[in-house]
Amino acid sequence: PASDPALVERARAAKEALGDRVFILGHHYQRDEIIEFADTTGDSFKLAREAAARPEAEYIVFCGVHFMAESADILTGPDQTVILPDLAAGCSMADMAAISQVEDAWQDLQDAGVADATLPVTYMNSSAAIKAFTGRLGGTICTSSNAKTALTWAFEQRGDGQILGTGKVLFLPDQHLGRNTYVRELGGSLEECVVFDPHKPMGGLSVEELRAARMILWRGHCSVHGRFSVDAVETARREIPDVNVIVHPECQYEVVELADYVGSTEKIIKTIAAAPDGSSWVVGTELNLVQRLAKQFPGKRIAFLEKNVCYCSTMNRIDLPHLVWALESLVEGRVVNPIRVDPEVAGYARAALDRMLALPG
Ligand code: 13P
Ligand code: SF4
């Protein structure tokens, strides 16, 4: 539905009144009514870089989810404030790894005698506390656009320093991104991956299984991307002649294996933008982005991969009323919903984020 014109006008006026004091970042999964006011849009890697590159902005209004705003707070200066327009915009995947569970898991790896050979690599979609755990142990953060580089680097740091050698990675919290990257991009095997279930003693694994594994995958997943199915890909191939299937690497391994293209939201956008008019696409990522692409490229046939998958409910929490509230409050001199990471946590988390930002490419 079209946005309320009065609210659009209020957002425009508040943004204009704040001028350069405010910078609005919008993740690709945000609603159109929010993207319209974003100074920059991007995937989570691009937005982290953008936040770090705006030292002149007093306020960064982050239209995305909580872990992204936390990362922006960690990467920005002490005089800058990051604002999340709705504090209920969390991420179910990030919530699947609590710091106490991760610390217990690390103790299990120590007890099994494999911790020295293991480095944590943590997906951006995690709390600041998990990022700090990662930084404290010398590991790195990754996003869906640099997971291959991050894993390659991590394997070089442990064991015999070979990519498919004796080193191990504890990958948190998205098992699918970890598995897809290790097997499809690094050439590892599925047998070398084990899933650590935080709800079971020792992750539900034996000492032998932990010793034999190269990739220890946390049992986490995205509640949106995890639902795309093999059946949906097969149906699309049957129903749409010459269809191109493009999916996000948070999808299950079996789905990614059947796709023609795999990539972060930024890569999905670039691939479809570069495709010729008349080409057909089914897209396995969040619905706001797929609908926007379909509107943006009317000459291409762009459809959503699965009929019964819906929006990311937490991304959708950020709507125009919340944005207007956050901006008008700033105009009135009040800061609402600031995201402030504890300084000690932020210090270690920053080490892990800086390691990611320093990775080649
Ligand atoms: P990217 O934007 O990095 O592709 O991440 C997708 C996602 O699920 C963000 O929550
Ligand atoms: Fe989290 Fe998935 Fe939503 Fe991204 S799309 S914020 S990973 S639940």
Taking the CA of residue 265 as reference, the ligand 1 atom at the shortest distance is 4
3-55 pLDDT tens trace: 899 999 999 999 999 999 999 999 999 999 999 999 999 999 899 889 999 99
Output the residue whose Cα is nearest ligand 2's atom 5: 312
Q: What percent of the chain has pLDDT over 70?
A: 100
pLDDT at 223: 95
Output the residue whose Cα is nearest ligand 2's atom 3: 312
Average pLDDT of 258-271?
Answer: 96
Taking the CA of residue 125 as reference, the ligand 2 atom at the shortest distance is 7
pLDDT at 261: 98
Output the residue whose Cα is nearest ligand 1's atom 2: 43
Taking the CA of residue 313 as reference, the ligand 2 atom at the shortest distance is 3
CA of 312 to the centre of ligand 1 (A): 11
Please report the domains of the chain, with CATH numbers, ordered by start residue: 5-89+315-342 (3.40.50.10800), 94-222 (3.40.50.10800), 229-304 (3.40.50.10800)
Give the range among 17-26, 119-128, 157-166 with minimum mean pLDDT: 157-166
SS3 62: strand
CA of 126 to the centre of ligand 2 (A): 10
- Answer for the pair 245, 305: CB distance below 8 angstroms, yes or no: yes
pLDDT at 97: 98
Q: Give the pLDDT band of residue 1 (cuts 50, 70, 90).
A: low
What distances in angstroms separate CA 179 from CA 214, 222, 293, one per listed residue?
11, 14, 28
CA of 141 to the centre of ligand 1 (A): 14
Strands 81-83 and 118-123: unpaired
pTM, whole model, 2 decimals?
Answer: 0.96
Between vectors from CA 76 to CA 343 and to CA 26, what angle results, nearest 5°?
120
> Rounded CA gap, 243 and 132, in Å?
43
Average pLDDT of 242-264?
Answer: 97
184-222 pLDDT tens trace: 999 999 999 999 999 999 999 999 999 999 999 999 999
Locate all alpha helices (DSSP H) within the chain, ordered by sequence.
5-18, 32-35, 44-52, 66-75, 99-111, 128-136, 147-157, 175-180, 207-212, 230-239, 253-258, 265-274, 287-296, 320-331, 343-358
> Is the model's pLDDT at 294 over the cut of 90?
yes
> Rounded CA gap, 232 and 219, in Å?
24
164-186 pLDDT tens trace: 889 999 999 999 999 999 999 99
Residues 6+ apart with CB under 8 A from 52: 75, 76, 357
27 labeled binding residue? yes
Average pLDDT of 155-167?
Answer: 90
Output the residue whose Cα is nearest ligand 2's atom 6: 91
305-319 pLDDT tens trace: 988 778 999 999 999
Q: Give the pLDDT band of residue 161 (cuts 50, 70, 90).
A: confident
Q: Single out the residue of 284, 326, 343, 357 nearest to residue 89, CA to CA.
A: 326
> Rounded CA gap, 53 and 66, in Å?
20
